[in-house]
Chains A and B, each alone.
Chain A
Amino acid sequence: MVQLHIDTELFKLKQSLQDMWIIVEKQLKKTRLAFLDYDKAMARQVIAREKMVNALELKIDSECESFIAKNSPVAIDLRLVLAYINMNNNLERIGDFCESISNYVLNHMSGKLDENFAALLRIEEIFDCANDMFIFAKDALIEEDTEKAEKIFGIDNLIDEIYHNSVKVIAEQIKNDVSKTEEYLLLYSVIRKLERIGDRCNNIAEEIVFYLEAKVLKHNEKEKKKIEKDFK
């Protein structure tokens, strides 16, 4: 079959979004290293690259707008471009969280987190979960695999569980040493951001399912629970 102009345009959009995935994935990995290894140089790199993420978000938004204006897409093409717009926005927000965590490393950390405390908080696990969700989402889009996208919902539940556990751990620490309240609250905000990264990956997974199957999972916990159950 002849390659249609609309397919060439969609391919260009896909390429731009893949560029965004690559940059944000690197940001996420560097943020992990910056925090867990207290690597200030890495944190600076993340902050410096954030401008690039923002610029790419604007570029993709503009390309999507132009695509809609010129091609009046319908059906699967329309769902794809709408999903791209939302995924683009979610990726940019993940980039923002990475920058924020890197700022924390530079401005509020004085060394690596105490090993025992880090284990109690399960901080490495939450970073791993966020990273896994991100990779699953990327692969699901590239491979157009909804099953992969739907696996993300299960990991998001695990992130939520770790987050709720960390709230209890931090509350306990504050009770034990009130003088460090601010320090602990700032640390709590980092964990909160990692939990939000999970939510953003979750949103991306919903967009992939919407694009491929025209199913709207946004605000549809019942349907998502059903999917999670099917996977267990």
Chain B
Amino acid sequence: MYSIEAKDVNFYYGDFLALKNISMQIEKNSVTAFIGPSGCGKSTFLRLFNRMNDLIPNIKLEGKIMVKGEDVYSKNVFVDQLRKEVGMVFQKANPFPKTIFENVAYGLRVNGEKNKKKIEQVVEQSLKGAALWEEVKDKLNRSAFALSGGQQQRLCIARALAIEPSIILMDEPASALDPISTLKIEELIFELKKKYTIVIVTHNMQQAARVSDKTAFFYLGELIEYDNTDKIFTNPQKEATQNYVTGRFG
């Protein structure tokens, strides 16, 4: 069974057809990169996987989005349950105005976890999973805002891990970070892949080439090419893909 499967997806913002007949399968424990110019629909598509587009007015979805074989837009699916399964990390780190500890514990608390010991264990595990524990273990009660941008982004990843998702969506997670912090996020993605399925939207071609197993190139709402990353970056089959990855898109 695929981690994520899209079948004949059309998506509208009002009258505007933002995604055109997209079908795609994403395998478990893999990293898939979505690339394409701004406005091509890659973030829109990503946000369908955990229904982040739901609150936008006048949207319409045709086709199916399946997560672990279940249609996420069926009436039986509760959005909060879906988002426990499909975590998300955004372009800009968005920690809560709370302590480092409370940021990670937040998801557990809103899900009714009261066992202090259990919460402490999960916070430590999640911070370790996000490669942040060694840097913050002695200052867990400090404000999350005291952390650097790169640390804040890893804190957000730890927060996502705390509720034990199986899929993590990353929407340009390193675009606002310096090269060292970017490298740490990329190293983290390699580690996380062992336990999670990761889908990442990125404008950084080299990042897509480095971290992903598969790459999907989108243009004007269409999925132009979806193949192994090695293939996309050495011998893409479509001219549009070649023009984009070599920077000659025009």
Taking Cβ atoms with an 8 Å cutoff, the residues of A that contact B are: 1-2, 4, 6-7, 72-79, 214
B250 close to A74 (CB less than 8 A): no
User: Are B234 and A74 neighbours in the complex by a CB distance under 8 Å?
Assistant: yes
Rounded to whole angstroms, the CA-CA distance of A78 and B206 in the bound complex is 13
Q: List 14 A-B contacts (CB under 8 A).
A: A1-B250, A2-B250, A4-B247, A6-B246, A6-B247, A72-B205, A73-B246, A74-B245, A75-B234, A75-B242, A77-B246, A78-B233, A79-B234, A79-B235
Interface residues of B in 217-250 (CB under 8 A from A): 233-236, 242, 245-248, 250
Residues of A within 8 A of B250 (CB): 1-2
Return B128 CB to nearest CB of chain A, in Å.
32
What string of 1s and 0s marks CB contacts (under 8 Å) between B13-34 and chain A? 0000000000000000000000
The one of A4, A74, A214 that contacts B209, using a Cβ cutoff of 8 Å: A74
| Chain A residues whose C-beta falls within 8 Å of the C-beta of B209 in the assembled complex | 74
* Inter-chain contact B247/A75, CB cutoff 8 Å: no
- B233 contacts which of A1, A4, A6, A74 (Cβ < 8 Å)? A74
A-binding residues in B (CB < 8 A): 205-206, 209, 233-236, 242, 245-248, 250
Q: Which residue of A lies closest to B242 (CB)?
A: A75
Checking A1, A2, A76, A214 against B246 with a beta-carbon cut-off of 8 angstroms, the contacting residue is A76
Identify B205's interface contact among A1, A4, A6, A74, CB under 8 A.
A74
Additional pairs, 8, CB under 8 Å, beyond known A7-B248, A78-B233:
A1-B248, A6-B246, A6-B247, A74-B233, A74-B234, A74-B246, A75-B236, A78-B234
Inter-subunit contact A75/B206 (CB<8 Å): no
Measured CB to CB, the closest approach of chain A to B224, in angstroms, equals: 14
How many A-B pairs fall under 8 Å by CB?
A: 33
| Residue of A whose beta carbon sits closest to that of B237 | A214
Q: Which interface residue of B206, B233, B245, B246 has the most chain A CB atoms within 10 A?
A: B246
Complex Cα–Cα for A7 and B246 (A): 10
Residues of A within 8 A of B248 (CB): 1, 4, 7
B242 to chain A, nearest CB (A): 5
Most A Cβ at <10 Å: residue of B206, B233, B234, B242: B234
Q: Sort A-B residue pairs by CB-CB distance and give the 7 closest, nearest first.
A: A214-B235, A74-B233, A74-B245, A1-B250, A75-B242, A77-B246, A75-B246
Tell me which residues across on chain B come within 8 A of A73, comparing CB atoms: 246
Look across to chain A and name the residue whose beta carbon is closest to the beta carbon of B243.
A75
Determine the distance from Cα of A79 to Cα of B245 in the docked complex, in whole angstroms: 13
CB neighbours (8 Å) of A4 from chain B are 247-248
Complex: A179 Cα to B29 Cα, angstroms: 73
B236: nearest chain-A partner, CB-CB: A75
Q: Which chain B residue has the least Cβ–Cβ distance from A78?
A: B234
List the A side residues contacting B234 at CB < 8 Å: 74-75, 78-79, 214
Q: Which residues of B contact A7 (CB under 8 A)?
A: 248
Min Cβ gap A59→B in Å is 25
Instruction: Name A77's closest neighbour in chain B (CB-CB).
Output: B246
Expressed in whole angstroms, the Cα–Cα distance for A4 and B246 within the complex equals 10
CA distance A71 to B234 in the complex (A): 15
Question: Cα distance A55–B50 when bound, in Å?
Answer: 59
The chain B residue with its CB closest to the CB of A72 is B206
B233 proximity list for chain A (CB < 8 A): 74-75, 78
Are B206 and A76 neighbours in the complex by a CB distance under 8 Å? no
**Which of B205, B248, B250 has the most chain A CB atoms closer than 10 A to its own CB?**
B248
What A residues does B206 contact at CB under 8 A? 72
A72 to B235, CA, bound (A): 15
Residue of A whose beta carbon sits closest to that of B244 = A75
Closest Cβ–Cβ distance, residue B207 to chain A (whole Å) = 11
A94 to chain B, nearest CB (A): 28
Distance in Å from the Cβ of B206 to the closest Cβ of chain A? Answer: 5
Cα–Cα distance between A69 and B117 once the two chains are bound (Å): 50
> Which residue in chain B gives the minimum CB-CB distance to A215?
B235
Give the CA-CA distance A31 to B248 in the complex, in Å. Answer: 43
In the assembled complex, which residues on chain B have CB atoms less than 8 Å from the CB atom of A77?
246
Complex: chain B residue closest to A74, CB-CB: B233
Determine the chain A residues whose CB is within 8 A of the CB of B242 once the complex forms: 75-76
Shortest beta-carbon distance from B183 to chain A in Å: 15
- Name which of A4, A75, A78, A214 has the most chain B CB atoms within 10 A of its CB: A75
